[in-house]
C-alpha cells in the first residue's frame, strides 16, 4: 500500500493535479497574482532577447558589413529604452502590489486553516500524526501557492526564451542545439533525485524544529513560568532543546552533503560540457575555418549561455513542480480530511430533555472503554451533579454530551432525537444549546466584555455582561478597573491590561455560562481555584440564575452537590450510585462515606478537601 502511494505521488498526472489545486486556490484569492506577473514575464522575455542577444548580433555583424553608425545606434537605443521603462513598471508593481497580494494570500490561507481546525473533532488534537500534518500544512502552504504561481510564469518564460534563442541558433548552425540540450537532460535527471532528498530532509527537520520551538515556548510563556522557576524541569527542557538542535545538525550533515554533490554535478555539466563545448565550437568556426561571422560567434556563446541558464532554471522549475506536489499531498490530506463528527440537517430545539442510554466510550488506540453503559437523564430545568474520583470519566462524559466526541456504544438523545441528527454549529446548532465552562478555561487578550460573550457585541449586551459578572462574583473586581468591562485582560498587547488571579479568572469564565441564553449549562469543575465558601456561593447564584435551565456540573467538593436535584456517583467509568443528596445519604453507600469524610475534614482543619 505504501509503495502504491509512493508511486502515485511520482506520477505526472498526480503532480499536475496537485499543482492545479494550488493554482486554482491562487486564482480564487486574487487573479492578479497570476496574470500580472505572467504579462510582465511575456513582455520581459522578448525585451531580454532583443537587448541581450539579437541587438548584439545586429550591431557587430552590421559593423563588419559596413553599416553606418546611425543604423546601428537607433535600434539599440529604442530597445534599451523600452527595457528601462518595462523594468521600472515591473519594479513598481512588485514593490507596491506584491506585499499586498502576499497579505491576501496569508489572510485567506490562515482563515482556511482556522476554519478547518474548527471543523475537525477534538480527538484530532490528541493525535500526534494529525497534529504534525496540521503544523506542516500551515507552515508551508503560503510558500507553495507562490511557488506554483512562479512556476506558471517561469514555464512561459522558458518556452518563449527557448523558442527565440533556438530559432536564432538554428538559423546560424543547427548542430549547436546539442549543447543546449545537455543542461536540460542533466538537470531533469539529477534534479528529480535532488527533489526527493530535499523533501525527506525538510520533513525530518520540521519535526525536530517543532520540538525545539516547543522548548523555546516553555521558557517565555506565562503558562510555564512558575514551574520553570521553582523546579528543575528547566534542565530537562535544556536537554530536550540540545537534543533537537543536535538532530537538526545531523540532518544537515547527512542530507546537505548529498544535496551539495547533486548541485555540483548539475552546475559542472552546464558550465563545462555545455557552455565550454559551444564556445570552443563557435571559436573554431570563426577563427580556424572562417565559416562564421564575429557577431554570430559572440551571439552563439551568449545564446548557449542563455539557453543553459534558461534550461537549468526551468529544470529547477519542474523540480519545484514535483516538490510542490509532495508538499501539497500533506496540505490536501489535511484540508480534505473529513471530520468524523458531522452535523445533521435538523435544527436543535432550544430546550429539551437530554438522555444518555447505555453509553460507552473508548478513546482511539486504547484497549478498553473509559465509560461503560452510562444511563443518565437530564430533564428540562433539572440540576444534575456528577461526582467521583479523578479519572472516573466525568469530564469525558460531559464532552460526549457536548458532542465533542461520539459514543462508541449506546445513544445520546436530545428532545427524544439522536443528537447526530441535529445541525452542529450556528445559531440553530446543537452545541449552541449549551453554555459550558471547563476547569482548563482560557482568557483571551481582549476586553472583559469579549471574554464573557465569546462573540461579537450586540445591542443590549452591556447589561447582560454586568449581570453575568455579578452572578459569578467578578463584578466588583472588574468595576474597580479604570475601564470596567472594557478593560483588556492580560498585557500581551496592552501595557495597561489587567492580569487576574486564578480565582478571578475562573469567575470570568463562569460568567460565560450566565450570559449565554442556553437551555443547558455544563460546568466541568469550573471553581477549582475558588475557596469552598466562594464556590458554594457561586453554585447558589448559578442555581438561582439558571432556575429555568438544566445544569450539569462536576465538583470535587460534595457540599456543592447538595444543591443538585439528582447526583450521579461515577467510579471506573460506571454509575455506581444515583439519587438526591438525602436519598444517597440515607442509603449509606459510597457517596455517604465520601461526603462524611469530607465534612469531617472541613470541621477538623478547615482545609479544602478533594475526593
Residue 441, domain CATH? 3.40.50.300
Same domain, 396 and 466: yes
Domain endpoint, select from 335, 370, 393: 335
Rounded to the nearest angstrom, the gap between the alpha carbon of residue 210 and the centroid of all alpha carbons in its chain is 13
Q: Are residues 220 and 165 in the same domain?
A: yes
CATH number of the domain within which 246 lies: 1.20.1560.10
**Cβ atoms of residues 406 and 360 within 8 Å:** no
Q: 134 is written with which cell numbers?
A: 496540521
Looking at the structure, tell me whether residues 76 and 105 fall in a common domain: yes
Q: Are 379 and 413 a contacting pair, CB within 8 Å?
A: no
For cell 559596413, the residue is 66
**For residue range 561-575, what is the model confidence (pLDDT) as tens digits?**
888 899 999 999 999
- The verdict on 422 and 563 lying in the same domain is yes
The answer to whether the beta carbons of residues 489 and 498 sit under 8 Å apart is: yes
Is 309 in the same domain as 384? no
**pLDDT for 389:** 84
Query: Structural domain tally of the chain?
Result: 2
Q: Evaluate whether 304 touches 279 at the Cβ level (below 8 Å).
A: yes
Asked if 183 and 261 sit in the same domain, the reply is yes
Sign of CA dihedral 280, 284, 287, 292: negative
With contact defined as beta carbons under 8 Å apart, do 354 and 522 qualify?
no
Q: Write down the pTM of the prediction.
A: 0.65
Q: Is residue 287 part of a domain?
A: yes
3-state helix, strand, coil in the chain (%, to 5): 65, 10, 25
The reply to whether 395 and 533 lie within a common domain is: yes
**What's the DSSP call for residue 392?**
S
Report, as ranges of residue numbers, the positions in the chain whose pLDDT lies below 50. 1-6, 603-611
Give the angle 331-344-402 at the CA atoms, nearest 5°. Answer: 85
Beta strand 354-361 pairing with 434-438: unpaired
The reply to whether 323 and 360 lie within a common domain is no
Whole-angstrom distance, CA of residue 294 vs CA of residue 298: 6
Residue 356 backbone dihedrals phi, psi, to 5 degrees: -105, 120
Three-class DSSP category at 384: strand
Residue in the block written with cell 443528596: 581
Looking at the structure, do residues 72 and 220 belong to the same domain, yes or no? yes
Q: What is the span of the domain harbouring residue 390?
A: 354-605
Alpha carbon of residue 103 to chain centroid: 16
Q: Note whether 566 and 384 are within 8 A (CB).
A: yes
Tell whether 5 is covered by a domain: no
Put the strands of the sheet holding 566-571 in their side by side order: 434-438, 520-524, 550-554, 383-387, 566-571, 574-579
d(Cα 417, Cα 426) in Å, to the nearest integer? 19
Cell 449552541 locates to: 432
Distance of alpha carbon 85 from its chain centroid, rounded?
A: 41
The closest of 415, 439, 423, 401 to 551, measured between CA atoms, is 401
Q: Residue 6 has which C-alpha cell?
A: 509512493
Q: How confident is the model at residue 229, as a pLDDT?
A: 65
| Residue 494: partners with Cβ closer than 8 Å, 6 or more residues away | 445, 488
- Could you tell me if 237 and 147 lie in one domain? yes
Task: In whole angstroms, give the CA distance from residue 133 to residue 378.
Answer: 39
CA distance 400 to 394: 10
Spatial contact of 296 and 267, defined as CB atoms under 8 Å apart? no
Amino acid at each position: 500500500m505504501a509503495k502504491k502511494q509512493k508511486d502515485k505521488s511520482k506520477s505526472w498526472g498526480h503532480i499536475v493535479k496537485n499543482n492545479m489545486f494550488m493554482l486554482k486556490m491562487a486564482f480564487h484569492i486574487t487573479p492578479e497574482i497570476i496574470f500580472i506577473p505572467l504579462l510582465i514575464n511575456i513582455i520581459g522575455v522578448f525585451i531580454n532577447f532583443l537587448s541581450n542577444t539579437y541587438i548584439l548580433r545586429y550591431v557587430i555583424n552590421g559593423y563588419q558589413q559596413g553599416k553606418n553608425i546611425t543604423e546601428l545606434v537607433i535600434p539599440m537605443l529604442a530597445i534599451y529604452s523600452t527595457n528601462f521603462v518595462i523594468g521600472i513598471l515591473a519594479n513598481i508593481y512588485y514593490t507596491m502590489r506584491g506585499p499586498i497580494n502576499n497579505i491576501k494570500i496569508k489572510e485567506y490561507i490562515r482563515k482556511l486553516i482556522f476554519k478547518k481546525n474548527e471543523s475537525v473533532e477534538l480527538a484530532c488534537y490528541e493525535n500526534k500524526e494529525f497534529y504534525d500534518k496540521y503544523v506542516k500544512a500551515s507552515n508551508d502552504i503560503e510558500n507553495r501557492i507562490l511557488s506554483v504561481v512562479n512556476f506558471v510564469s517561469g514555464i512561459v518564460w522558458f518556452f518563449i526564451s527557448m523558442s527565440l534563442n533556438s530559432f536564432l541558433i538554428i538559423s546560424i548552425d543547427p548542430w549547436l542545439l546539442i549543447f543546449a540540450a545537455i543542461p536540460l537532460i542533466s538537470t531533469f535527471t539529477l534534479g528529480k533525485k535532488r527533489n526527493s532528498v530535499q523533501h525527506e530532509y525538510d520533513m525530518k527537520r520540521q519535526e525536530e524544529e517543532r520540538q525545539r520551538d516547543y522548548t523555546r515556548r516553555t521558557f517565555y510563556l506565562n503558562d510555564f513560568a512558575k514551574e520553570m522557576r521553582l523546579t528543575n524541569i528547566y534542565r530537562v527542557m535544556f536537554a530536550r532543546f540540545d537534543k533537537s538542535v543536535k538532530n537538526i545538525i545531523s540532518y544537515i550533515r547527512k542530507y546537505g552533503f548529498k544535496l551539495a554533490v547533486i548541485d555540483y554535478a548539475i552546475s559542472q555539466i552546464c558550465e563545462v560540457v555545455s557552455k565550454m563545448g559551444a564556445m570552443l565550437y563557435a571559436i573554431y568556426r570563426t577563427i580556424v575555418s572562417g565559416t562564421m561571422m564575429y557577431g554570430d560567434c559572440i551571439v552563439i556563446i551568449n545564446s548557449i549561455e542563455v539557453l543553459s541558464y534558461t534550461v537549468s532554471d526551468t529544470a529547477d522549475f519542474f523540480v519545484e513542480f514535483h516538490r510542490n506536489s509532495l508538499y501539497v499531498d500533506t496540505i490536501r490530506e489535511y484540508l480534505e480530511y473529513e471530520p468524523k463528527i458531522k452535523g445533521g440537517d435538523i435544527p436543535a430545539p432550544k430546550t429539551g430533555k437530554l438522555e444518555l442510554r447505555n453509553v460507552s466510550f473508548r478513546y482511539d488506540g486504547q484497549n478498553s472503554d473509559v465509560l461503560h453503559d452510562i444511563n443518565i437523564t437530564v430533564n428540562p430545568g433539572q440540576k444534575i451533579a456528577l461526582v467521583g474520583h479523578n479519572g472516573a470519566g466525568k469530564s469525558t462524559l460531559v464532552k460526549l454530551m457536548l458532542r465533542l466526541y461520539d459514543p462508541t456504544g449506546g445513544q445520546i438523545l436530545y428532545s427524544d432525537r439522536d443528537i447526530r441528527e441535529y445541525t452542529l454549529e450556528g445559531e440553530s446548532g446543537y452545541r449552541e444549546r449549551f453554555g459550558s465552562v471547563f476547569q482548563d478555561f482560557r482568557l483571551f487578550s481582549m476586553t472583559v466584555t469579549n471574554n464573557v460573550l465569546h462573540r461579537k457585541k450586540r445591542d443590549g449586551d452591556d447589561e447582560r455582561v454586568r449581570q453575568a459578572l455579578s452572578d459569578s462574583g467578578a463584578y466588583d473586581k472588574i468595576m474597580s478597573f479604570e475601564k470596567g468591562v472594557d478593560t483588556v485582560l492580560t498585557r500581551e498587547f496592552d501595557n495597561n491590561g489587567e492580569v487576574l488571579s486564578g480565582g478571578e479568572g475562573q469567575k470570568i469564565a463562569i460568567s460565560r455560562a450566565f450570559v449565554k441564553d442556553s437551555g443547558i449549562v455544563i460546568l466541568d469543575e469550573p471553581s477549582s481555584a475558588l475557596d469552598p465558601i466562594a464556590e458554594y456561593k457561586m453554585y447558589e447564584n448559578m442555581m438561582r440564575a439558571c432556575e429555568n435551565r438544566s445544569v450539569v456540573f462536576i465538583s470535587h467538593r460534595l457540599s456543592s452537590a447538595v444543591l443538585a436535584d439528582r447526583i450521579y456517583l461515577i467510579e471506573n467509568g460506571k454509575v455506581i450510585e444515583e439519587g438526591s443528596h438525602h436519598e444517597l445519604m440515607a442509603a449509606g453507600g459510597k457517596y455517604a462515606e465520601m461526603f462524611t469524610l469530607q465534612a469531617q475534614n472541613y470541621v477538623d482543619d478547615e482545609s479544602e478537601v478533594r475526593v
